[in-house]
Each structure stands twice: as C-alpha cells, then as structure tokens.
Amino acid sequence: MVATWHFALLLSVLLMVSRGLANEVTPDHGVDTSISEPAAGNETQSQHNTTGDSGHAGGHGGEPITTLPIVTWKWHHVSTPYLVALWILVSWLCKLVIEANHHVTNVIPESALLICFGFILGGMVWGADKVQTFTLTPTVFFFYLLPQIILDAGYFMPNKLFFGNMGAILIYAIIGTCWNAASLGLSLWGCHKGGAMGDLDIGLLQYLLFGSLMAAVDPVAVIAVFEQVHVNEVLFILVFGESLLNDGVTVVLFNVFDAFVSLGGSQIDAVEIIKGIISFFVVAFGGSLLGFVFGLLVSLLTRCTKNIQIIEPGFIFVLGYLAYLTAEMLSLSAILSIVFCGVCCQKYINANMDEKSVSTVRYTMKVLANGSETMIFVFLGISAIDKTIWVWNTGFILLTLLFIMVYRFIGVFFLTWILNRYRLVPIGFIDQVIMSYGGLRGAVAYGLAVMLDENKIKEKNLMISTTLIVVYFTVIFQGITMKPLVTWLKVKRAAVTELTLIEKVQNKVFDHVLVAIEDISGQIGHNYMRDKWNYFEEKWMSWALMKPSVRKSRDHVFSVFHQLNLKDAMSYVAEGERRGSLEFIRNESAFIDFKKKFGDEFSEAMPDIMANMSDDHGAASDRRRDPVPSVSLEMHEQTMKGMRETEDINTHHLLQQHLYKGRKQHRHRYSRSHFDVNKDENEVQEIFQRTMRSRLESFKSAKMGVAPPKTISKYSKKDQQQKMPNGKSLDRSKSYYSGDEDFEFSEGDSASGYDASGSTFPMRVTYRAGAGIENPAFMPDMDPMTPIQIPPWLMEAELDSGMVAPSQRAQVRLPWTPSNLRRLAPFRASAQSNDSFMLADAPATQQRDDEELPPPPSPPPPPSNRDGGYM
Amino acid sequence: MGSSSSSMDHIPNAEELMQETGFSAAHLLRLYERFEFLDKDQTGELRPEDFGAIGGLALNPIGDRIISAFFSPGQETVDFPSFVRVLAHFRPNGTNRTRNGTQQEPVNSRTRKLKFAFQLYDQDRDGKISRAELLQVLRAMLGIQVTEEQLQSIAERAIQEADLDRDDAISFDEFKKVQQVSPHPQTPTKETPLHPTEGGR
C-alpha cells in the first residue's frame, strides 16, 4: 500500500520535472548542479539560452513592465537549483520505494534496483525530450557526489583493522590495480591485433588507458553490496580498503596514461616512463600526506571550537572537502587525500567535540554519503538511456567482461599466495574467491570514461558503453549472485559478539603480554611497532591534538566500562518507562536499541575500538534479524534497520528524554572538566543546583574549621522558595538522587537537607525548623565569609540574592518564559550556563535566543564554587 | 645480537627442546643467542633482574607479572630450556605450517595460551581469579586515570560478566569460556609472531 502511494508520488514529481523540461529547458552554466545537460539540449532550446546570470537578472525585470504583477512565473530564476533539488528528491524517493519492499531487496541488492529505477526514469526523460537531458557528468560526480562518500568511508574506517591489514590492502590496491590495468589493456590489444573485434581505431596506449580506468574496484558499489552480505571483518576490510585506495591509484594511472596518450606513442621514451612512475608515487603519497595534514588541521581546530558548538561539525565537512579540492588543485590524488583526512581526524575530533556534535557529524556524514550514493546509482541508470553514447562491439565488450573477471581472479589469487607466506592468519581459499568475485566496477570508472577526450580517443563512445555494460554486469549480476554465493561457499560470516568488559581487559592484557614477550625474545615485530606507535600517539599526538580535558579519561577498558554502564542505565530507564516493571529488562530487544543509539552517541569516548562499537551494533541488531558485519562501515544500515520499527523510534525518544539517568556514568567522564558536566542531563542540573550549593557551603566552611550544617540553611532556603513551584521536577530529581549512591554527597546532613527540600512540604518545614535552630548559632560566622565568596562583580547588583546570583537572573526572566522556568532556572544557577543550556531540548531552545542575545553581564559563578562542586 | 657465535652444539638438549616446543633449529638458535645476551653474568641462568634490564619491559604495566611467569614457584632463576618452554606458549599455533603438535596437547595450543594469561592474574595460584587479583591487574593497566572506586566497579562488573557459578571469582573454565564465546578481532595477534618471517612485516 505504502509503496504504491510512494510510487504515485514519485511519478507525479517526475512528471513535474519532465514537464518543466519539455516546456522550458534551461541552460546550465553553473557547475553547482547535479544535472548537466548535453550540448544538444542547449542548442535546441537556444531561445532560452540566456546565461545563468541573466536568468537571475531577468527575473527581476529585464523587460519594462506595464502594470504591477501580483505574482510572476519565474522559472528561469530558480530552474537550476530547483532541478537539482527535484532530482535529489526523486532519487531519494526511489530509494524509499525500494527499501519499502523488503522481500525484493533481500534478493536483489539495493544498488542494482536503483540502477533499474534509473533506467525507468531515464526512459521517461527520453520519452519526453527525445534526448537524454540528464546524465552524470564527471564534474558533478567527482566534485559533488564522490567526496562525501569517500570522507564517510575514511571517517568510519575501523582504524585498527585497517592498519593491521594495511600491508595486504596496499598490495592489492597498488599492485593488483596495476596488474588489472596492464593485463586488461594488453590482452585487449592482443585480441585486437588478432582480429577479434573488427575494425577499431584504438592503439596500445588507448587500450592501456582504458585498462586503467576499468581497473579499480569501486568503493561505492562494494559497500553497497557487501554491507548486505555480512562477510567476516577481515575479508570486508580487505575488499573495502582495497576498493578505497585503488580508486586513488586508478585515477593516478588514468592521468599518467592520459598524458601518454596526449604525448603520442613516438614521444614516449624511457625518461617519460620513469617520470610516469615517479609521478605515480608522488601523486599517491602526496595526496595521502596532504590528507594527513588536513586531518591534523581538523583535529587542532576542534580543540578550540567549544564556543561555537553549533557549527563545530561543519568544520569536518568543510576541511574534508578542502582537502579534496586542494589535492585536486595540486594534481595529487584527491581520493586518497580525503580518505586519510577522515582516517586521521576521527579519533581526535570524536574526543574533542561535544558528543552532540559527534553524533551530528556521524549522521550528517551518513545522510550525505548515502544520499549521493543513491543519486550516483540512479544517474548511472539514467545515463544509459541515451542513444548517442551506445556503440556496440560484441567482441570488445564481451572480451572486456571476460578479461576483467579472469584477471581479477588471477591477480587476487597470486597476490594472496604471496601474502599468505607472510601472514600469520592466511586468507582462505573461499575468502579469495569472494574477494575476486567482489571486484565490482562502478561510477568511478564511468566518470573517468566520460572524461576521455574525444579528439584523442576516437572510440570514446565505445569505451563508455563498455564501461556501462561492465558496471551493470558487475553491480547487478554479481551483486545479485553474491549473497547466494556467500551462503553456498559457507563464507565465514561476521562473528556475533557481545561487548564484554572482561574481554576488553583480557585483550589489553594480551597486548601487554605480547609486547613483553617480544621484548624478551628480542624480536621487533608487529606488536612492538604497534606499541611504539601507541606510545608515540599517546604522548605526542594526543597531547597536541586533544583537549586536555578529554585526554585523561580515555582508557579503553574504562570506556567499555562506561559504555556498558550506559547501556544498562538506558535499558533500565526505558523498560521502567515502558512496562512499569523491570522484568522486561531481561528481554534482549531492549539492549539492542540502546546499544545502537548509544554506540553512536558515545563512541567518541573510544574511537580506537570503534570497530568494536560497530561490531556491537551489528551484534545487537542481529539477534532478531540477519547477521550484520561485525565491522560495518555502514552505520546507516543498522540505523535504518532499527528505524523500520516504530518500537525503536519510541525507544530513541525515550532515551533522549531520559538520558540523565546515566549520570552516574557520565560523572566519570565529565567530572574532570567542569564545562562538560551534566551536559545532556538537564534534570541533573536541578540536583546540582540544590545539593551543590549546600554542599559547597558546608565544604568550604568545613575547610575553614566551621561546622558544615549551618550553611545549608541560609542559602538553599531562599532558593527553595524560588524553586518550589516546580514540584514535579523536584520530585524527579529527588528520586534520582536517592537511587544513586554513587553520586557522592556523602555527608548525611546535606543529603537530608536535600531530600527534605525535594520532598513534600511538611518535610520541608521540619527542615527549616532544623535550619532555624542552627542558623542563629552560626550566623556571626557567616557574614564575614559572604563577601569572600561573592565576586566583586556580583557585589553591587546582586548581593541581595547572595550566592545564587544567576538564579536571580533566571527569576528576572520569569515573566518572559513561565513555561520554561523549570528548565532554565537551574541552568542559570549552575556553573555551566551556556552549554548545558544549548543542549536543553525542545522547549528550551526557543528560549535560547532570548537568553543569549544580550550577552549576559555574565557573572561567572564563583570559581571556588566549581572546584569545590566537582571535586 | 648475541656476543658469542653460538651454534646448535652449544645448546643443551637441543633436539629434545625442538621436539617438545616445536621451534625450528633456527628459532632455537636465535633464542639461545638472545638468552645469552640477556644473561649478563654468564651463569647460564636468568634472574629476574636480567629481565628487568630489558628497557621496554620496564615500561610495561604488567611487566613484572610476565617476568614472574617465567619462574616456577620458589625458584630464583630460569635456565634455557625453561625459558624456551615458556616462550613456546607464544609460538603461532600452526594453522598454516606446523601441524606437528596436534596429537597431544601442544604447548602452544589455545588452552595453554589462555592458561598462561590466566596465571598472570592468578598470583596465588589457587585456580581462581579473585576480585582482588583482578583489581591489581586493572590498577596496573589503568593507572592513575581512574579512581579507585571506579576501578572497583569495573572489577566488580568484569567478574560478574565472567562468573558463571556465582562464586565471586573467575575460574579457568569460566575464563576460557569468555574468550571462546566471543572471538575478538584481536585474537589472531595473541600469538606472538615468533616465526622469523613474521618479524619482517
């Protein structure tokens, strides 16, 4: 039902698009569009052939008007961005329709279906225009669609696994790709000479150029297929890492051969070839280095963005994109650059940024990457429906397909054979088969093929058609058969693991043991190197790139502990909420949701074991569904799976609301930086506001040799009266407090004082009575102390309210925001006004502007207050 | 590395050791050189101090435990055969090359490796990792970053996870089970690459 509706919607949108086109196709001179029209479109519609600028100007009255138009039709004014937006919408709707039909996606991978949708859409456009108005152009692909996908891959790279298998990945990516390119080019050339494909105007260099563009396994296609197959993580990282890096390699190769073709065969001598090889390495390593530099830059930048948290996530995208463009500008490998930018910065930015920002980055990354992946596939399909590009040459096309398969198998088996001599855990035969079979080609090859220069390569269209055929064949046919093959060959699937603390501890012990044994046996091995790197990283990189506040509590064992605790706390809350009883907590489904959500949100505490995290996600969503790769780079997959169930959404909602229950755990991480405390636990602020004030007073006076109890009374009493209206929140905070002994307001008197203030009125009365008794006795002491604690800037204006200056301001604001008082007042009163404030959820957000615009004549809360409070 | 150019003849009971541990002659030779290098005063036996002199080991948070694993209880020194036997725990268990040891429990089997690790915790050798013992290891590894009470709750939690029979301690069987239930990505590296070809990677 739903799918039908969606489809109807899609069609209507499509109709709009094509009608818009048929009526008034607009020229497209801007590069910032994902829809570029071929020259033919411009010519046939030359009457509209105004430039983009004049199009804009025309909208504002290029011609004299006779009367005031109430509304005008200004299609040209908006056409380009409008079409871009429409196409994005259409592509995403395609995905929506596809994902609504589960039984189909179980058999046919999504990427294949998207291509098929592209066929249909392309057919419609063709039918309306008699010309393919929209195709995927290299500019759009390489500048606007590809970067975010690669950045996403780099950012979510399971670093440990990646660098652990770095040797193998590099060998596959560099040697394997060169092998593929050379063998395909030479074999085709040989077949050509042998007369297998008739009369073609292609020389050896052109064949090699073609080979180089066909050589690379495409990361987009590979992720799209492999993420649904769930192979074991080593196999996954090998295929994925290879596809990612060899994209860089293949672009480099392509450029080198392109230059050779331009030079012409006669000009190429040994010097040029050597220059080509040197340029290959310079481009590849230069690009990686550049990415590394940009990664460090991002990390450094996020060290100091705490005051602009709202746009903090944007830096990652902007700098990542700049890394890409800079590399492109220097003719270095842009893909490698952005990969390494993502890989390098992930640990530090996850640690440096606020956790909300981290989840923003993660989700935005997924939205962008997934969105453009969808568009790429759809447009790959659309591009095919174009009579002008199709040149059929059976020999050429079939031989290309054959050679690609054969040489891929040969290359993988040969390289694996070499690698296995050095690998501790060899790559098995079945894994090799899957690796070979997973050699999917994709949009990168197509993009490169379209970039070919028609003047230099006469058979450009044949190459494009062949590339398209290869892409369709590999993505659709191999994509469909991959899953049955994996099942049939019984490929080791991703292990379903549950994150346990003891295991983490154990692995840590093993690490140490291995290093020690290497020390003892005098061998400098893998573990030794890793240990040295870790040491270096810990000592220097973290020092330079991480905020001091987050550097401390970063031990893995500890973060697992933290994470597990969070998980428990979350499930505890949610189940309590949902069922009213905690019996349900034993049900595993509860754990699943929490892991998933909070894995995302809190994994910045443990970037190094991110692999475990996603592992964990996988394991989690697994229980009731398919197995999921234990290292999944596609977090969106699990998220989406989860989202399909309203139950999950509910849970998420509950989580957001009740995050504060985790404060027991938060405290560990945040207590060291006052700034971060209670960041997302709004309600805890209330507890703090109440108990801290009283605790502080007692603490200080205890230091000064005065008995604690007296202080409570004076200040908190006043405050109580302010806060009593919000009875509900008091109730809540009270129950949290009492449920959580770990919160360490250890001294009985203040605790009771707190409890009293939080509970019903009669109790409060008794409390006040107690205070009344104590107060007079100690009052003389109090007065000399007060001025010390009130900073000078507070003295004049707010002395009357004593210590609680901020809450007085909150009080002042009361008339504006009665509904928010409950939330705001505690914030203002607390030491962390701004940040916790920004993170307050919905109702508070409206208020934020008001609050922040007049820069608060900000009385920074007494410093002693904080220190005492959190230590 | 070794000061003397030792050959197989210098190694006592070389054949026996090779059979027992599965090391090849080349390995054994290399280890012997290393042994002699560590044995500063040429007594033919290593004392804990000799191990302590290794630079990297001093930095290792559980270095002293690992050192003490080389010494059988009550002994102050370790001779070459024992040295090799301990190291043999860490020989890769041959999925690829060496299948010789499968008939009886080979010294580098998974169980023996785990046993070795288990003994690092189990300092009083009562066959159980008590909470205190776990806490010691944790304290060594986590260091100053974490407060004592956090450490305690971590230990508490870890014990709970593994403790199947609720005796508030981890027996070897439980320990083994934890590691088997969840094959961690890291487990492969648990076998230290003593094979010469590994060193080059």
Q: Is A506–B157 a contact, with Cβ atoms under 8 angstroms apart?
A: no
pLDDT at A205: 83
Average pLDDT score over chain A = 67
pLDDT at A320: 92
pLDDT at A703: 58
Distances from the Cα of A715 to the Cα of A694, A744, A780, A871, angstroms: 7, 21, 15, 21
Which of A164, A422, A497 is nearest residue B197 as measured by Cβ atoms?
A422
Q: Is A454 helix (H, G, I), strand (E, B) or coil?
A: coil
Q: Is A425–B95 a contact, with Cβ atoms under 8 angstroms apart?
A: yes
pLDDT at A52: 38
- Judging contacts by C-beta atoms under 8 Å, the chain B residues touching residue A558 are 142, 145-146, 150, 154
Q: Is A525–B145 a contact, with Cβ atoms under 8 angstroms apart?
A: no
Q: Name which residue leads in pLDDT, B193 or A327.
A: A327
Confidence of residue A650 (pLDDT cuts 50, 70, 90): low
- The string of DSSP codes covering A616-658 is HHHHHHHTTS----SS-S-HHHHHHHHHTSHHHHHHHHHHHHH
pLDDT at B188: 38
Residues 161-200 of B with CB under 8 A from A: 161-162, 170, 178-179, 181-186, 188-195, 197-200
pLDDT at B107: 64
Task: Tell me the whole-structure pTM to 2 decimals.
Answer: 0.60
* Highest mean predicted confidence (pLDDT) among A394-398, A750-754, B50-54: A394-398
Q: Of A24-33, A312-321, A406-415, B131-140, give the lowest mean pLDDT range.
A: A24-33
- Rounded to the nearest angstrom, the minimum Cα separation between B9 and chain A is 20
Task: Examine the pLDDT at A532 and tell me if it is beyond 90.
Answer: no
- Quick check: A423 and A458 in contact, CB under 8 A? no
- Quick check: A196 and A402 in contact, CB under 8 A? no
Task: Examine the pLDDT at B165 and tell me if it is beyond 60.
Answer: yes
User: In percent, how much of chain B has pLDDT > 90?
Assistant: 0
- Rounded to the nearest angstrom, the minimum Cα separation between A655 and chain B is 23
Q: Is B157–A561 a contact, with Cβ atoms under 8 angstroms apart?
A: yes
User: In percent, how much of chain A has pLDDT > 90?
Assistant: 7
- Judging contacts by C-beta atoms under 8 Å, the chain B residues touching residue A501 are 154, 157-158, 161
The angle formed by the CA atoms of residues A717, A722 and A728, to the nearest 5 degrees, is 105
- Rounded to the nearest angstrom, the minimum Cα separation between A520 and chain B is 7
pLDDT at B10: 66
Q: Of A60-74, A359-373, A713-727, give the lowest mean pLDDT range.
A: A713-727
Buried b / exposed e over A259-281, threshold 16 CB at 10 Å, is ebbeeeeeebeeeeeeebeebbe
Confidence of residue A199 (pLDDT cuts 50, 70, 90): confident
Which of B121, B161, B192 is nearest residue A501 as measured by Cβ atoms?
B161
Size of the A and B interface in Cβ pairs below 8 Å = 174
Confidence of residue A367 (pLDDT cuts 50, 70, 90): very high
pLDDT at A229: 76
- Rounded to the nearest angstrom, the minimum Cα separation between A421 and chain B is 8
Residue B80, chain A, CB below 8 Å: the answer is no
Task: Examine the pLDDT at A324 and tell me if it is beyond 90.
Answer: yes
Task: Examine the pLDDT at A507 and tell me if it is beyond 50.
Answer: yes
What number is the average pLDDT over the span A404-414? 91
pLDDT at A13: 52
Q: Of A87-96, A260-269, A422-431, A791-800, give the lowest mean pLDDT range.
A: A791-800
H, E, C per residue of A530-575: HHHHHHHHHHHHHHHHCCHHHHCCCCHHHHHHHHHHHHHHHHHHHH
Task: Give the chain B residue whose CA is nearest to the CA of A234.
Answer: B185
Residue B73, chain A, CB below 8 Å: the answer is no
- For A231, phi then psi, to 5°, come to -85, 175
Q: Name which residue leads in pLDDT, A712 or A200.
A: A200
Confidence of residue A321 (pLDDT cuts 50, 70, 90): very high
What number is the average pLDDT over the span B145-156? 73
Helix extents (H) in chain B: 14-21, 25-38, 48-52, 55-59, 63-69, 80-88, 110-121, 131-142, 148-162, 172-181, 196-199
Residues 20-59 of B with CB under 8 A from A: 31, 34, 37-38, 51, 54-57, 59
pLDDT at A89: 93
Confidence of residue A578 (pLDDT cuts 50, 70, 90): low
Confidence of residue B93 (pLDDT cuts 50, 70, 90): low
Q: Could you report the per-residue pLDDT of A115-159, keeping only the tens digit for each? A: 999 999 888 888 888 777 788 888 888 899 989 998 998 898 888
Distances from the Cα of B167 to the Cα of A6, A522, B23, B153, angstroms: 58, 41, 40, 17
A492, A507, A521: best mutation site toward chain B, by most B Cβ within 10 Å?
Answer: A521
What number is the average pLDDT over the span A820-843? 40
Q: Dihedral sign, CA of A149, A150, A155, A159?
A: positive
Q: Is B62–A512 a contact, with Cβ atoms under 8 angstroms apart?
A: yes
Compute the distance between CA of residue B129 and CA of residue B152 in angstroms, rounded to an integer: 15
Q: Is B158–A552 a contact, with Cβ atoms under 8 angstroms apart?
A: no
pLDDT at A763: 40
Confidence of residue A689 (pLDDT cuts 50, 70, 90): low
Task: Give the chain A residue whose CA is nearest to the CA of B89.
Answer: A517
Reference A501, options A553, A554, A564, A555; nearest CA is A564
What number is the average pLDDT over the span A561-587? 66
Q: Is B90–A514 a contact, with Cβ atoms under 8 angstroms apart?
A: yes
Compute the distance between CA of residue A405 and CA of residue A437 in angstroms, rounded to an integer: 8
pLDDT at A82: 92
Q: Could you report the per-residue pLDDT of A17-75, keeping only the tens digit for each? A: 444 444 444 333 333 334 443 333 333 333 333 333 443 444 444 567 788 888 888 88
Q: Is B193–A555 a contact, with Cβ atoms under 8 angstroms apart?
A: no
Residue B146, chain A, CB below 8 Å: the answer is yes
Q: Could you report the per-residue pLDDT of A430-444, keeping only the tens digit for each? A: 888 888 888 888 888
Task: Give the chain A residue whose CA is nearest to the CA of B129.
Answer: A502
Task: Examine the pLDDT at A7 and tell me if it is beyond 80.
Answer: no
Which of A160, A518, A561 is nearest residue B154 as measured by Cβ atoms?
A561
Task: Examine the pLDDT at A183 and tell me if it is beyond 80.
Answer: yes
Q: Is B186–A630 a contact, with Cβ atoms under 8 angstroms apart?
A: no
- Quick check: A157 and A344 in contact, CB under 8 A? no
Q: Is B192–A555 a contact, with Cβ atoms under 8 angstroms apart?
A: no
Reference B65, options B107, B17, B112, B125; nearest CA is B125
